[in-house]
Amino acid sequence: MIAFQGQSQTQLHAGVPLYAYNGNLGVGTVSPQYKLDVGGIARFASELKAQTSIYLGNTNPSRLSSGGNHEFDINYGTEGSFNYYSGTANQFRIDSNGYVGIGITSPSEKLEVNGNTLVQGTLEASKVKVTATPGSVPDYVFSANYELKNLNEVEDFIKANSHLPNIPSANEIETNGQDVGELQLKLLEKIEELTLYTIEQEKEHEKKEGRIERLENENLKLKTRLDEIENFIKNLKR
């Protein structure tokens, strides 16, 4: 064991960059500021343990690497982010504001995922927003060129297939699942078609009402005429 004290610099062995200063031990540094201060790369053949924390830097990103293509970056600087890299791709990130990004380097929400997500359970939300590609919203139903099937054609299709036209069957959904956004647009298409059917039926109803009113007026005229004829005949008999 080597014992030393005082505030002067002491080289413990000639030719070996091992220094003792003010109760600190320096390896590769002549002015050690900590109990063990290494001026360079240190290698531990076994474990590195600490009672509290291990700091790998407090300004620039600190990095823990598996020795392959997988790395963890912990940044104690202005960003204060935590990152996981696979190669050069940032696969996972937690920003200092608590935003989490998966497959994205700058998450703009509490959780932002760049890619598909599989949930093995229930996904519950107070609000779900689904974006649509241009032209996919079925307002084309109201175009003058849209070929709306008549109700007889729809009935024949339902009898033959047991589901509405342009709507996946129960077997398809059970086998392949269903895109919620796509299904919402298809249901909107059916609602808009139903609106057109309702408008068409209302017009037919108005036409029938008009015909009924004309027939009632004609019947009233005929009744009046018959009454006049009956009165005339009665007068002749007198």
The more confident residue out of 226 and 40 is 226
What does the pLDDT read at residue 60?
Answer: 54
Angle, CA of 8, 9 and 13, to the nearest 5°: 135
The two three-digit tokens of residue 15, written as one number: 């030719």
What does the pLDDT read at residue 109?
Answer: 93
Whether the model pTM is above 0.75: no
The tens digit of pLDDT for each residue in 191-219 reads: 999 999 999 999 999 999 999 999 999 99
Confidence of residue 1 (pLDDT cuts 50, 70, 90): very low
Residue range 125-140: mean pLDDT, rounded:
86
Longest CA span, the chain: 159
CB 166 within 8 A of CB 189: yes
Query: Reduced to 3 states, what is the DSSP secondary structure of residue 71?
Result: strand
Confidence of residue 29 (pLDDT cuts 50, 70, 90): confident
The tens digit of pLDDT for each residue in 138-167 reads: 999 999 999 999 999 999 999 999 999 999
Nearest Cα residue to 24 out of 48, 43, 5: 5
Instruction: Enumerate residues 6+ apart whose C-beta is below 8 A from 9.
Output: 19, 20, 21, 30, 31
The tens digit of pLDDT for each residue in 50-67 reads: 666 566 665 555 666 665
CB 59 within 8 A of CB 47: no
Q: Is the pLDDT of residue 4 over 70?
A: no
The two three-digit tokens of residue 209, written as one number: 């009402």
Burial class of residue 123 (count of CB atoms within 10 Å of its CB; 0-12, 13-18, 19+) = exposed
